Amino acid sequence: GQSLEQPSEVTAVEGAIVQINCTYQTSGFYGLSWYQQHDGGAPTFLSYNALDGLEETGRFSSFLSRSDSYGYLLLQELQMKDSASYFCAPDSWGKLQFGAGTQVVVTP
Amino acid sequence: DAGVTQSPTHLIKTRGQQVTLRCSPISGHKSVSWYQQVLGQGPQFIFQYYEKEERGRGNFPDRFSARQFPNYSSELNVNALLLGDSALYLCASSLALSTDTQYFGPGTRLTVL
């Protein structure tokens, strides 16, 4: 079957580092995407890992271990504007599978 | 360049009615996917179209249908609306069939009364 797990909520202060873990079980796995969504907005692409290892894009980094069916998103130097929902989305047979997401709350 | 556009922005329908939602992908993008997002949940995959052919279908009843036109724009149709169809309907486009980067439109907020 298919399953996806990530924490429901994470709270951190400005300037801190947050790691959002994602474990998945899916068939036909191609890669793992991460999206950010602010309240009332559309999901915005953050990163995609097709191979094992770390991908770095500015303050955001994403990691994938295909053998462990595990990935994480690292948010560094947190800013208030980073308060949003973050979704990991395994690419299964060319289709993105979204879970309920992780609500990140950044406090002053 | 314009991003993904969707129309209408908001829509209110009553149970049993039919609705058509429209999506224009980013210029040059040939793949369009449709998602349903219920409040508090992540987007759920409905359809993917590439080069005017259906390439993927999620776990949705046959009341949901879609098509892609020669200019790569797309329509999502939902018949016999139920209260549970109330959601944000998102369209996403990508260059090719691969989903390594999908660009989402602002969505259509559908309310079924």
Residue whose C-alpha is closest to residue B72's, from B98, B52, B94:
B52
3-state SS assignment for residue B15 = coil
The per-residue pLDDT for B1 is 62
Separation CA B66–CA A48 (nearest Å): 27
- CB contacts, 8 Å: A30 with chain B: 98-99
Closest CA to A30 of A91, A87, A96, A99: A91
Rounded CA separation B82/B69 (Å): 27
- Closest approach of A91 to chain B, Cα-based (Å): 7
> Taking 90 as the threshold, does the pLDDT of residue A93 lie above it?
no
Q: Find, among B83, B107, B87, the residue nearest to B17 by Cα.
A: B83
Mean pLDDT (chain A) is 94
Side-chain half-sphere CA neighbours of B4 within 13 A: 30
How far does B101 lie from chain A, in Å, by closest CA?
7
pLDDT score of A28: 84
Q: Are A26 and A38 in contact (CB under 8 A)?
A: no
The 10s digit of each residue's pLDDT in B74-105 is 999 999 999 999 999 999 999 877 667 889 99
Q: Does A100 contact B42 at a Cβ distance shorter than 8 Å?
A: yes
* pLDDT at residue B45, as a whole number: 94
pLDDT tens per residue across span B39-64 = 989 999 999 999 999 998 999 999 99
pLDDT at B36: 97
Q: What is the pLDDT of residues A39-62, one digit of tens each?
A: 989 999 999 999 999 999 899 999
